[in-house]
């Protein structure tokens, strides 16, 4: 039950495991290892900030997801962001500027946030925001990219700024990846991975796990190919259905238990890589960790949302501080009202309860 579950302790242990795994995974790369050792100290200091806030009655999540643009060049099958109309082909209007994101990063650093996940759209369309992030060496910025905009300018930035780690989206082999992301995308991904390895730069892979590819993307063959190419992080993201005709692709209890056991096995057998599952086994985390329990989401226009899969907001960071945004009325209602604690099918409890979330928003108007 919620009253017996220590969310602060749970999240801190998760951060410490990820950081220690990252230090171990980079031991053969002197520059990366040196940065990760420094980041480990910064992460410990951030944890102390969060613990102090917790003791004062305020919970600070260690993670923030920042969708820094709504524009993307791909049309991936089943993309939740396009289905929610959060991603478009056109040039975005009134999205947060690089300066505004810079302020958000400063506030997050002051609060004790350790990781800011940069997403989109396609985040590498925003070089200005990448530069702003590169200056915050006490925080780690995984960049969730489709990998099609890798170029010399970015390779040089990643070389200068080891706190920026590209996380390349891949669906398995060439057939599975091109089937979902478009013809030729797999070859561009592999080319980018090989160039990053040649330059001694670490990167990760993000895999959308479905009932169709779960065996492929957890296979020894697939993961060994990633490892051989220099991949140091694999993030398994459970597919969340946002249309009725894609429900059968969402992992159920059997698949989620398989993934949990498989990741535990992989962590033992592949010390050279870090394995993360999102949202992972929510039963062990006392429920969903969105809405500020473990993270929350800021969209490209500044709206503070519980999660990318739950695109509802009642507050904008343009009008308030990051601290106030993470304690918005919507977030408090979701955390205190038990909306995050129940079992649910598929990968996202808030998507299943979207009508209830919409009702909370309407009540505030």
The whole-number pLDDT of residue 297 equals: 96
Nearest to 300 by CA among 102, 128, 92: 92
Write out the E strands in 239-342.
274-278, 297-298, 304-305
Give me the pLDDT at residue 6, please. 78
Strand 297-298 and strand 304-305: the pairing is: antiparallel
Q: What is the pLDDT of residue 364?
A: 64
Instruction: Decide: 266 and 236 in contact? Cβ < 8 Å.
Output: no
Rounded to the nearest integer, the mean pLDDT of the chain is 89
Residue 84 is predicted with a pLDDT of 67
Per-residue pLDDT for 35 more than 70?
Answer: yes
262: its two tokens: 């498989």
Instruction: From 320, 312, 298, 296, select the one nearest 351 (Cα to Cα).
Output: 312
- Per the model's pLDDT, the better-predicted residue between 47 and 93 turns out to be 47
Q: Higher model confidence: residue 226 or residue 243?
A: 226
Sign, CA torsion 125/83/191/227: positive
Domain count, the chain: 1
pLDDT value for 295: 93
Sorted by sequence, the CB contacts under 8 Å of residue 39 that are 6+ apart come out as 19, 22, 137, 138, 140, 163
Q: Does residue 214 sit in helix, strand or coil?
A: helix
> What backbone phi and psi angles, to 5 degrees, belong to 318?
-65, -25
Confidence of residue 365 (pLDDT cuts 50, 70, 90): low
Q: Binning pLDDT at 50, 70 and 90, where does residue 3 land?
A: very low
Whether residue 174 has pLDDT greater than 70: yes
The boundaries of the domain holding residue 321 are 2-364
Can you tell me the distance from the alpha carbon of 123 to that of 120, in angstroms, rounded to the nearest whole number?
A: 5
Q: pLDDT band for 2, please (50, 70, 90 cuts).
A: very low
78 exposure class (CB count in 10 Å sphere: 0-12, 13-18, 19+): middle
Handedness of CA 1, 354, 251, 188 (dihedral sign): negative
Q: For residue 279, say if its preceding peptide bond is cis, omega within 30 degrees of 0.
A: yes
Q: How confident is the model at residue 1 (pLDDT cuts 50, 70, 90)?
A: very low
Q: Extract the tokens encoding 135.
A: 């200056």
Determine how many CB atoms are found less than 10 A away from the CB of residue 204. Answer: 22
Average pLDDT for residues 48-56, to the nearest whole number?
95
Q: Tell me: the pLDDT tens digits for 312-358?
A: 999 999 999 999 999 999 999 999 888 887 655 555 777 778 888 88
Neighbours of 95 (CB within 10 A): 20
- pLDDT above 80 (res 44): yes
Q: What's the pTM?
A: 0.92
Through-space distance between the first and last CA atoms of the chain, rounded to whole angstroms: 32
Q: Looking at residue 137, what is its pLDDT?
A: 96
Helix and strand numbers, DSSP H then E, in the chain: 15, 9
Mean pLDDT of 200-213: 93
Question: Over pLDDT 90: what percentage of the chain?
Answer: 64
Looking at residue 356, its pLDDT comes to 86
pLDDT tens figures, 64-108:
999 999 999 888 777 767 766 667 777 777 899 999 999 999 999
Query: How far does CA 150 lie from the centroid of its chain?
Result: 20
Does the pLDDT of residue 183 top 80, yes or no? yes
* Least confident piece of the model among 184-188, 201-205, 221-225, 241-245: 241-245
pLDDT for 89 equals 72
- Check which CATH number belongs to the domain holding 251 and give it: 3.20.20.70
Of 87-96, 110-119, 214-223, 274-283, least confident by mean pLDDT is 274-283
pLDDT digits (tens, 9 = 90+) for 116-132: 999 999 999 999 999 99
């Amino acid at each position: 039950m919620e009253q017996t579950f220590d969310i602060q302790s749970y999240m801190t242990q998760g951060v410490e495991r990820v950081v220690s795994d990252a230090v171990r995974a980079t031991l053969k790369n002197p520059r990366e290892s040196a940065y990760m050792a420094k980041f480990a100290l910064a992460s410990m200091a951030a944890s102390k900030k969060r613990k102090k806030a917790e003791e004062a009655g305020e919970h600070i999540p260690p993670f923030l997801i920042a969708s820094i643009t709504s524009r993307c060049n791909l049309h991936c099958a089943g993309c939740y962001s396009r289905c929610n109309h959060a991603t478009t082909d056109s040039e975005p209007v009134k999205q947060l500027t690089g300066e505004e994101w810079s302020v958000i990063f400063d506030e997050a650093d002051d609060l004790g946030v350790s990781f800011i996940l940069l997403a989109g759209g396609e985040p590498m369309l925003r070089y200005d925001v990448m530069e702003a992030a590169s200056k915050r060496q006490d925080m780690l910025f995984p960049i969730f990219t489709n990998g099609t905009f890798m170029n010399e300018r970015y390779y040089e930035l990643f070389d200068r700024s080891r706190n920026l780690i590209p996380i390349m989206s891949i669906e398995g082999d060439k057939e599975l990846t091109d089937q979902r992301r478009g013809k030729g995308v797999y070859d561009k991904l592999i080319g980018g991975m090989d160039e990053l390895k040649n330059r001694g730069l670490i990167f990760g892979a993000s895999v959308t796990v479905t009932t169709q590819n779960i065996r492929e993307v957890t296979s020894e063959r697939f993961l060994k190919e990633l490892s051989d190419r220099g991949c140091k992080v694999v993030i398994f993201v459970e597919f969340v259905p946002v249309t009725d005709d894609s429900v059968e692709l969402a992992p159920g209890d059997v698949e989620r238990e398989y993934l949990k056991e498989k990741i535990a096995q992989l962590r033992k057998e592949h010390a050279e890589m870090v394995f993360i599952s999102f949202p992972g086994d929510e039963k062990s985390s006392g429920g969903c960790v969105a809405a500020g329990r473990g993270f929350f989401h800021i969209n490209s226009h500044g709206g503070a949302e519980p999660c990318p899969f739950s695109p509802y907001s009642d507050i904008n960071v343009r009008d308030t501080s990051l601290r106030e945004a993470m304690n918005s009325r919507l977030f408090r209602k979701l955390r205190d009202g038990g909306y995050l604690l129940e079992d649910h099918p598929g990968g996202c409890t808030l998507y299943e309860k979207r009508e209830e979330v919409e009702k909370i928003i309407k009540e505030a108007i």
